[in-house]
Amino acid sequence: MTMKPLRLFLALFCLLVAIWLVLPTLVIIPMSFNQNKSLAFPPSGFSWQWYENFLTNPDWSSSFVNSLRIATIVALIATLIGTLAALGLSRMKHAGGGILRALLITPMVVPGVVLAVGIYSVYLTYKLVGTDLGFVIAHTMLAIPFVLIAVSASLEMFDVRLEKAAASLGANRFTTFRTITLPLIAPGILSGLLFAFVTSFDEIIVALFITNPYLKTLPVQIFTSITRDADPTVAAVGTIVFLATTLLIAAGLLLGARSKRS
């Protein structure tokens, strides 16, 4: 098999795998326009009523605002902490740096249910269940590893000789960081910011443990609706979240690719 047919075969194979992975997600799009009050596929008729219900129903609108507010705060805090951690770890050349890095990415590898039970137990003691602060702390812990990885990837491509050159020309550490380091690792920081936002906005396992009837995030409201009503509003919300998340992740990947090229 020559090189060109081999590349064509691999491209076709990758396309089929991508379709296989994405197709179950794309099913919710036509379901969101179902005229009947059922999550049926193929849909019967066409209607915008479920999108209207999402915009006008207080349960859906308030949970969306809650998720948006919490995710924004989490993204900012996690980006700040994750960036500082990545900068510190990049300058640690001994074994302790690897141990600290492993500890910081632990929330990514620990099963979500185990983490949720631990957080819930601590929150009961300190009365953080069902509070904005509780959600922000828990989601920040989950989001920091994504920021750490994104910023660390940018720092791997960063030439430290530029900092030394700036210092030799009289720049202090803050000026060097502001004018040299920060602009060069900015794509990684922005990528981490986007991933932190998406992580908080889509998180469901921990949120189910620490929520209450007065403070629900959008994923919790989706879970509640699917177990109670199961109307196509869930599909409409899923479609909106899927499209928004896809755009955010695509932006993060583009920023990461730009960081590697620069």
**What tens digit of pLDDT does each residue of 200-222 get?**
998 999 999 998 888 889 999 88
Backbone angles phi, psi at 218, to 5 degrees: -60, -45
Q: Are 187 and 130 in contact (CB under 8 A)?
A: no
Distance CA 225, CA 17 (A): 31
212: DSSP letter:
B
Give residue-wise pLDDT tens across range 28-80.
888 888 877 777 777 777 788 888 888 888 888 899 999 999 999 999 999 99
pTM for the structure as a whole: 0.83
Is residue 68 packed enough to be buried (19+ CB in 10 Å), middle (13-18) or exposed (0-12)? Answer: middle
Backbone angles phi, psi at 35, to 5 degrees: -75, -30
- Provide the angle, in degrees to the nearest 10, between the axes of the packed helices 58-90 and 218-228: 140
Q: Are 195 and 150 in contact (CB under 8 A)?
A: yes
Give residue-wise pLDDT tens across range 157-178.
776 677 677 777 777 777 777 7
